[in-house]
Amino acid sequence: MNKKRPVNLDILTISMPATAVVSILHRVTGIILFVGLAFLFYIFDLSLASQQGFDQVANTLQTSFLAKFIIWGVVSALMYHFVAGVKHLFMDMGYFEELDSGRKAAIANIAIAAVLVVLAGVWIW
Which residues line the annotated binding site for heme? 81
For the chain, the C-alpha Rg in angstroms (whole number) is 20
Give residues with Cβ within 8 angstroms of 95, minimum separation 6: 101, 105
Instruction: Measure Cα distances from 12 to 8, 56, 120, 125 in Å.
Output: 10, 44, 30, 33
- CB–CB of 32/69 below 8 Å? no
CA atoms of 82 and 77, how far apart (whole Å): 8
As annotated, the binding site includes: 81
- DSSP class of residue 3 equals T
